[in-house]
Amino acid sequence: MRYMLIMRTPTEFEMPADFDFTEVINAMGAYNESLIKAGVLLSGDGLAPAEEGFVVDFDSTPPVVTDGPYAEAKELFTGFWIIQTSSKEEAAEWAKRCPLGPGTRLEVRLMTETEDFDQSNEYIQKEYEWREQLGTHTPVQG
């Protein structure tokens, strides 16, 4: 089972003046290392500030692109991990170990697998080929 752990931070969150970024890097590095040693980490990255991103709104034709930051947002995604575990409970245990502070949330979402869809669909079959070519196909775990 693959899960995405999505780090969410309130838009009004500001770093304290005495913020020690080295401490955060060390804590996250130790967490990532524990995920790797346990064999559950598939991927993970931090995200640049919202000002560097944009939103594509499909409510109109053609879709409208709006640069960040996003006034209507209450929280921003600031990073993620993709882990593979044998159960929801194991994913929850790993999520609880993440070294995040007050005001930050970690949303945990089960990711769909190619095997979850109609296997006779042409694009599902192509998906297997594409993942093989990209080296991103993850084996199904019981």
pLDDT in tens, 91-125: 999 999 999 988 889 999 999 888 888 899 999 88
Please give the pLDDT value at position 13.
Answer: 65
Contacts of 39 (CB under 8 A, 6+ apart): none
CA-CA distances (angstroms) from residue 83 to 42, 44, 48, 96, 142?
A: 5, 9, 21, 13, 14
Place of tokens 């995405």: 4
The phi, psi pair for 18, rounded to 5°, reads -95, 20
58-77 per-position pLDDT tens digit: 999 999 998 877 767 777 88
Q: Residue with structure tokens 């060390």?
A: 26
> Between the CA of residue 133 and those of 80, 96, 126, 136, what are the distances in Å?
24, 34, 10, 8
Two tokens at 72? 């209507």
**pLDDT 10s digits, 42-63:** 999 988 888 888 888 899 999 9
- The helix (run of H) or strand (run of E) holding residue 102 is none
pLDDT band of 16, cuts 50, 70, 90: low
Between residues 53 and 39, which one has the greater pLDDT? Answer: 39
The candidate with the shortest Cα–Cα distance to 85, out of 132, 35, 135, 29, is 35
- Unique residue bearing structure tokens 């089960």: 110
Region label for 17, one of left (φ > 0), alpha (ψ between -120 and 50) or beta (otherwise): alpha
